[in-house]
Chains A and B, each alone.
Chain A
């Protein structure tokens, strides 16, 4: 790849699926057998972006927006219906050996490790497949295990590992060949908060150390805020936002959610001067507070009320986006 060319270029990337339409039930099946009806569904339509080497980019969008489809096109698993695509100087769908040796795809909901064996066995299989010699394999395993804080877990059967340990081992297996481009689809799915943080730290570390390009999707806004300066937001197969995360967050979530647990009950009116009351039950109050006024509001709440417990959260990204996209739909119609 000549220097200074971007690592990933997508121009007008599109993918349409052909789905068979079938009515439920026995009659529907019969009718389907006799005359099939198809419908074309555009999963991705005309998406363009450029990602430079070493960038970490977050890929956002509601379920079914086309994130996974795009990742699969980028990794060469799905042939695009239209548009141009170049990753590390290759056309992904040709799945040439040299291309495959430079990329990896990690899917939070699928695993490649062999269930009954310790991760080390699967990792050794990968080493053989990628043609990494024994010495080098050893060196890389210890380096990555260090970064991931994995130790004797590598010697325990996968089925006996916790979800977090399994994901870390999965990452080790996927990065053994030291890919330059990482595609991560929900890498922190289902992990608890500490495990999530560890995976995030690792990814940041890996990106720094090897200058790898990372493209990740996640349902957890925290992953994106911790890792990505730039986000691509995709909705109904189209690119909605390409740019800094800051801009997007304040656009999407000018409010934060404050959950209060009180010693005794107060009327709803008592809280209305601090923000929007989202819900109010005897001792529990959910408040939406403007970002800019968060610190002083929390301080005021603590002095004013007998607070047992207080929690500040970002509203779930799905909620944020739903509000954004319903707003978008409204403006579309207008």
Chain B
């Protein structure tokens, strides 16, 4: 009965958010323009980086396109789910409407993370998929079922890492209402995921693996998709994903304990 209730609730959540977004059809045009513009700009900059070169950090042009495609895909996911939901947490705290969420007989993290679905991220999702497919086909890497499967799993775990990081940062707003744009910082630094991690100087590479795990979001899944995935990295990524999901859950519980013992 419980999974059923969650499924029914999720359906209702998304129907109602689609309805409220459907009032703004102009957004679709603007969003498509933004995706096309951003994509054109990114490919242009990538071409500048490749001018006179045949590789960037050991990646060929087509392989780098796969990385850029995954970045676009994740950016679309961010616009669909992370941005519309997680940026509201701070408003809930500020305006006290978090109380309503906590009084519902449903998991509060579930509510806060999935309450809204913004269709405006979809152009990004589609563009990302097209770019990945193009890059894969042109790169000449043999397309194998198991590498696609592994790559897909790693993309999902990259998304999970991103979600956990973002959610935990948003949960900080329970203590520090004013630091809400910590999540914005996160979004701006994620731009680094547009390029393969090996293109960066060694010190930055370390940062992108351990501090801001951008590497797991685009580079590692791309390697797997291209059939060059290493089991070490894959295992590390999956471990990191499940670890960070658990950590975000634990952290939210901890934050709530603080909220419920201190809010007025």
> Is A69 on the interface with B (CB-CB < 8 A)?
yes
Q: 0/1 per residue, B207-238, Cβ < 8 Å to A?
A: 00000000000000000000000000000000
Contacts of A201 in B (CB 8 A): none
Give the one of B11, B96, B100 with max A CB within 10 A: B100
> Is B261 on the interface with A (CB-CB < 8 A)?
yes
Residue of B nearest to A99 (CB): B105
Task: Check B5 against A128 for contact (C-beta < 8 Å).
Answer: yes
> Is A100 on the interface with B (CB-CB < 8 A)?
yes
Task: Check B13 against A121 for contact (C-beta < 8 Å).
Answer: no
Which residue of the partner chain, among A95, A110, A116, A121, contacts B100 with CB atoms under 8 Å? A110
Q: How far is the CA of A97 from the CA of B6 in the complex (A)?
A: 13
Q: Which of A76-84, A221-229, A291-299, A315-323 contacts B (4 or more CB under 8 A)?
A: A76-84
Task: Check A79 against B261 for contact (C-beta < 8 Å).
Answer: yes
Which residue of the partner chain, among A69, A93, A105, A121, contacts B103 with CB atoms under 8 Å? A105
Closest 4 A/B residue pairs (Cβ): A128-B12, A100-B105, A112-B100, A128-B9
Chain A contacts with B in 102-117, Cβ cutoff 8 A: 103-105, 107, 110-112, 114, 116-117
Task: Check A77 against B263 for contact (C-beta < 8 Å).
Answer: yes
Chain B contacts with A in 230-264, Cβ cutoff 8 A: 257, 260-264
Task: Check B99 against A100 for contact (C-beta < 8 Å).
Answer: no
Q: List 15 A-B contacts (CB under 8 A).
A: A18-B262, A69-B264, A72-B263, A75-B103, A78-B261, A112-B97, A117-B16, A124-B12, A127-B12, A128-B12, A129-B5, A129-B9, A129-B12, A129-B104, A129-B106
Which secondary structure dominates where chain B touches chain A?
A: helix
> Is A122 on the interface with B (CB-CB < 8 A)?
yes
> Is B26 on the interface with A (CB-CB < 8 A)?
no
Chain B contacts with A in 97-147, Cβ cutoff 8 A: 97, 99-100, 102-106, 111
Q: 0/1 per residue, B170-191, Cβ < 8 Å to A?
A: 0000000000000000000000
> Is A17 on the interface with B (CB-CB < 8 A)?
yes
Q: How far is the CA of A43 from the CA of B23 in the complex (A)?
A: 45
**Can you add 12 more A-B contacts, CB < 8 Å, to A100-B104, A122-B16, A131-B5?**
A69-B264, A72-B99, A76-B103, A79-B257, A79-B261, A105-B103, A110-B99, A110-B100, A112-B100, A121-B20, A128-B13, A129-B5
Which residue of the partner chain, among A43, A78, A110, contacts B96 with CB atoms under 8 Å? A110
Q: 0/1 per residue, B1-24, Cβ < 8 Å to A?
A: 100010011011100100110010
Task: Check B262 against A129 for contact (C-beta < 8 Å).
Answer: no
Task: Check A93 against B260 for contact (C-beta < 8 Å).
Answer: yes
Task: Check B96 against A104 for contact (C-beta < 8 Å).
Answer: no
Contacts of B53 in A (CB 8 A): none
> Is A130 on the interface with B (CB-CB < 8 A)?
yes
Contacts of A112 in B (CB 8 A): 97, 100
State the Cβ distance, A130 to closest chain B Cβ, in Å: 6
Task: Check B264 against A131 for contact (C-beta < 8 Å).
Answer: no
> Is B95 on the interface with A (CB-CB < 8 A)?
yes
Residue of A nearest to B12 (CB): A128
State the Cβ distance, B230 to closest chain A Cβ, in Å: 44
> B-side interface residues toward A, CB under 8 Å?
1, 5, 8-9, 11-13, 16, 19-20, 23, 95-97, 99-100, 102-106, 111, 257, 260-264
Contacts of B23 in A (CB 8 A): 116
Task: Check A77 against B102 for contact (C-beta < 8 Å).
Answer: yes
Q: How far is the CA of A125 from the CA of B114 in the complex (A)?
A: 13
Task: Check B8 against A128 for contact (C-beta < 8 Å).
Answer: yes
Size class of the A contact interface (CB-based, 8 Å): 35 or more
Which residue of the partner chain, among A17, A103, A104, contacts B264 with CB atoms under 8 Å? A17
> A-side interface residues toward B, CB under 8 Å?
17-18, 43, 68-69, 72, 75-79, 93, 95, 97-98, 100-101, 103-105, 107, 110-112, 114, 116-117, 121-122, 124-131
Task: Check A104 against B103 for contact (C-beta < 8 Å).
Answer: yes
State the Cβ distance, B99 to closest chain A Cβ, in Å: 5
Contacts of A117 in B (CB 8 A): 16, 19-20
Q: How far is the CA of A111 from the CA of B99 in the complex (A)?
A: 10
Contacts of B5 in A (CB 8 A): 128-129, 131
Taking A117-B20, A125-B16 as contacts, is the C-beta distance between A103 and B9 under 8 angstroms? no
Q: How far is the CA of A69 from the CA of B262 in the complex (A)?
A: 10
Q: How far is the CA of A98 from the CA of B2 in the complex (A)?
A: 13
Task: Check B19 against A78 for contact (C-beta < 8 Å).
Answer: no
Which residue of the partner chain, among A17, A68, A101, A110, contacts B105 with CB atoms under 8 Å? A101
Task: Check B16 against A100 for contact (C-beta < 8 Å).
Answer: no
State the Cβ distance, A263 to closest chain B Cβ, in Å: 50
Contacts of B20 in A (CB 8 A): 114, 116-117, 121
Contacts of A77 in B (CB 8 A): 99, 102-103, 260, 263
Contacts of A114 in B (CB 8 A): 16, 20
Q: How far is the CA of A77 from the CA of B258 in the complex (A)?
A: 11
Q: How far is the CA of A69 from the CA of B264 in the complex (A)?
A: 6
State the Cβ distance, B208 to closest chain A Cβ, in Å: 31
State the Cβ distance, B112 to closest chain A Cβ, in Å: 13
State the Cβ distance, B179 to closest chain A Cβ, in Å: 15
Task: Check B11 against A128 for contact (C-beta < 8 Å).
Answer: yes
